[in-house]
Amino acid sequence: MIVFLTFILVLHLFSFQLSFQDFTIIALVALCIGMAKTGVHGAGMIAVPLLATVFGGKLSSGVLLPMLVFADLIGVRYYNQHASWKHLKILFPWAALGVIGGTLAGAYINDSVFKMIMAIIIFLSVGIMVWLERGGKEKVPQSKLFAAGTGVAGGFTSMVGNLAGSVMAIYLLAMRFPKNAYIGTTAWFFLVTNWFKVPFHLFVWHTVSINTFLLDMLVIPFIGLGAYVGIIIVKRIPDKWYRWFIIASTLVAALFMIL
């Protein structure tokens, strides 16, 4: 009954032409985002194409942004003490540059191209992650140039498709971060990056509005539930297996893109 009344509220107050199935997908997306921000990496990438089935590629990135910002706060609150600020200070300026580049590129990318970019990013990321784990890590430069490239790519892919999680996974796996440091550093990176993206979505792309914001507020309980589930799952995964868990969950997301 509560779900039905919520659906009616969305339909009549927020000017969305949504079916019950659409709202169910949005709630599932919120659940996945909560899980992703507390360590279940691939859940966030599954959420991106799911939401695109309801709103299209570009608009869905704006609908997703407030969910991400709220979920980032949960991730930072829980894993704050594990973040590596040494690496974050290098990444942030380059990520800002990538966000600006993604904003400019977005003006020339339609929905079909958005979806194609999503799929390419995830598949390339899976390949690089596996390569790193099978010996490629010795060839990855431990330099500021590598961090700069990651920052630009992370900012760009975050703006264009909210898929910077796979880019950050490559960087943090290469840095050999333990489980909690991986999650804490990722949480802070996305908290800052997603807040930086807000004015671009508001004033350049016009993909965030009062309607999208109110819709996102309705699914906050699902984000909280997902975050709680994510914490439980990650606690049960030993540090030595978490790296392969990241790769496997990314692969699942990649397969989901082509189904």
pLDDT of residue 195: 96
Nearest one of 205, 244, 230, 256 to 79, comparing CA atoms: 230
CB 156 within 8 A of CB 102: yes
- In this predicted model, what pLDDT tens digit does every residue of 72-120 receive, in sequence order? 999 999 998 889 999 999 999 999 999 999 999 887 877 677 767 767 7
CB 59 within 8 A of CB 161: no
Q: In this structure, what token pair is assigned to residue 92?
A: 């942030």
C-alpha distances (whole Å) from 74 to each of 31, 42, 66, 190, 233 are 13, 17, 13, 12, 16
Query: Mean pLDDT over all residues of the chain?
Result: 85
* DSSP assigned state of 162: S
- Give the predicted TM-score (pTM) of the model: 0.86
- In this predicted model, what pLDDT tens digit does every residue of 190-248 receive, in sequence order? 999 999 999 999 999 999 988 888 889 989 999 999 999 999 999 999 887 888 888 88
pLDDT of residue 191: 95
- In this predicted model, what pLDDT tens digit does every residue of 34-62 receive, in sequence order? 999 999 977 888 898 889 889 887 889 89
Q: What dihedral do alpha carbons 128, 132, 133, 134 form, nearest 10°?
A: 100
